Amino acid sequence: MERDITIQFVPLEIILPLRKAVIIAGTNRDTPYFTGDDAPDTLHVGVFASDECVGCATLLYSRWESAPAWQLRGMAVAAERQRAGIGTALLQFLEAALPNRKPAIGVWCNAREKAVPFYTSAGFSIVSDRFVIENVGPHFKLFKAFANPGIAAQPQALKHDANAVARNPASDE
Ligand SMILES: CC(C)(COP(=O)(O)OP(=O)(O)OC[C@H]1O[C@@H](n2cnc3c(N)ncnc32)[C@H](O)[C@@H]1OP(=O)(O)O)[C@@H](O)C(=O)NCCC(=O)NCCS
């Protein structure tokens, strides 16, 4: 694991350059923005080495099957910093922080085929067949339940939270 990194929730503008460089470049996407980027429940997280943003992700408050869950999108580590544990550190930060934010049973994502070993190494399970996202490429859907559900442990909170937005699971990564 890289030393001297900090991880925190930040405004979208802070992570947008890294998202553009690592996630958008090389695809046929015409915008770096995701549907839901500016939703009130959406969280953006950055990993910083000194003041440089070297890792990022976006969390959309969504649903997994019928329960509230977070959708992880735009997970990226700067090219020259990959395979140094930054992505793993970011996921660990999220697993500690998210259960205390809103009721949710876990995290899911549409993962690029090349990134699947990263997610499975972090404990995610593959829960779909391979499918293609237009303009990006082949993907799999993955899910990881929170080991420590925090406020999600309260069944009433899960049952009555009407704010989790159902999203089209195959349309975005
Ligand atoms: C996928 C990504 C976020 C992973 O972040 P990272 O900081 O490089 O990952 P880590 O160093 O924490 O990797 C942890 C483990 O995941 C696995 N892993 C990570 N990248 C891998 C790869 N390209 N191929 C195979 N296994 C990989 C390995 O087991 C690795 O442990 P090891 O290096 O000790 O073998 C990063 O490589 C990235 O930004 N890739 C380009 C953008 C992308 O594909 N984003 C995901 C969109 S769904």
d(CA 163, CA 161): 6
Q: Is residue 40 part of a domain?
A: yes
Q: Is residue 76 part of a domain?
A: yes
Q: Is residue 117 part of a domain?
A: yes
User: 28: domain range?
Assistant: 5-160
> Pick the residue with more confidence: 11 or 162?
11
Nearest to 104 by CA among 44, 164, 45: 164
Stretch 110-137: mean pLDDT, rounded?
96
Q: Which atom of ligand 1 is nearest to the CA of 119?
A: 16
Q: Is residue 169 part of a domain?
A: no
Q: What does DSSP assign to residue 150?
A: G
Taking the centre of ligand 1 as the mean of its atom positions, its distance from the CA of residue 167, in whole angstroms, is: 26
Q: Is residue 168 part of a domain?
A: no
Q: Is residue 165 part of a domain?
A: no
Q: In the prediction, which pLDDT does 171 show?
A: 47
Q: Is 22 in the pocket of ligand 1 (CB under 6 A)?
A: yes
User: To the nearest whole percent, how much of the chain has pLDDT over 70?
Assistant: 84
Q: Is 82 in the pocket of ligand 1 (CB under 6 A)?
A: yes
Taking the centre of ligand 1 as the mean of its atom positions, its distance from the CA of residue 114, in whole angstroms, is: 9
Q: Which atom of ligand 1 is nearest to the CA of 139?
A: 48
Q: In the prediction, which pLDDT does 89 show?
A: 98
Taking the centre of ligand 1 as the mean of its atom positions, its distance from the CA of residue 18, in whole angstroms, is: 16
**Atom 43 in ligand 1: which residue has the minimum CA distance?**
76
**Atom 25 in ligand 1: which residue has the minimum CA distance?**
117
CA distances from 74 to 18, 92, 160 (A): 10, 16, 29
Q: pTM value?
A: 0.90
The per-residue pLDDT for range 47-94, each reduced to its tens digit, is 999 999 999 999 999 999 999 999 999 999 999 999 999 999 999 999
d(CA 79, CA 22): 7
d(CA 50, CA 124): 30
d(CA 118, CA 85): 10
Number of domains present in the structure of the chain = 1
CA angle 33/34/36 to nearest 5° reads: 125
d(CA 22, CA 99): 27
Q: Is residue 104 part of a domain?
A: yes
Q: Is 86 in the pocket of ligand 1 (CB under 6 A)?
A: yes
- The CATH number of residue 139's host domain is 3.40.630.30
Q: Is 84 in the pocket of ligand 1 (CB under 6 A)?
A: yes
- Residue 76 in contact with residue 56, Cβ under 8 Å? yes
Nearest to 46 by CA among 11, 21, 70: 11
Q: Is residue 29 part of a domain?
A: yes
Q: In the prediction, which pLDDT does 157 show?
A: 53
Please provide residue 34's backbone torsions phi and psi, each rounded to the nearest 5 degrees.
-105, 150
Q: What does DSSP assign to residue 165?
A: P
Q: Is 85 in the pocket of ligand 1 (CB under 6 A)?
A: yes
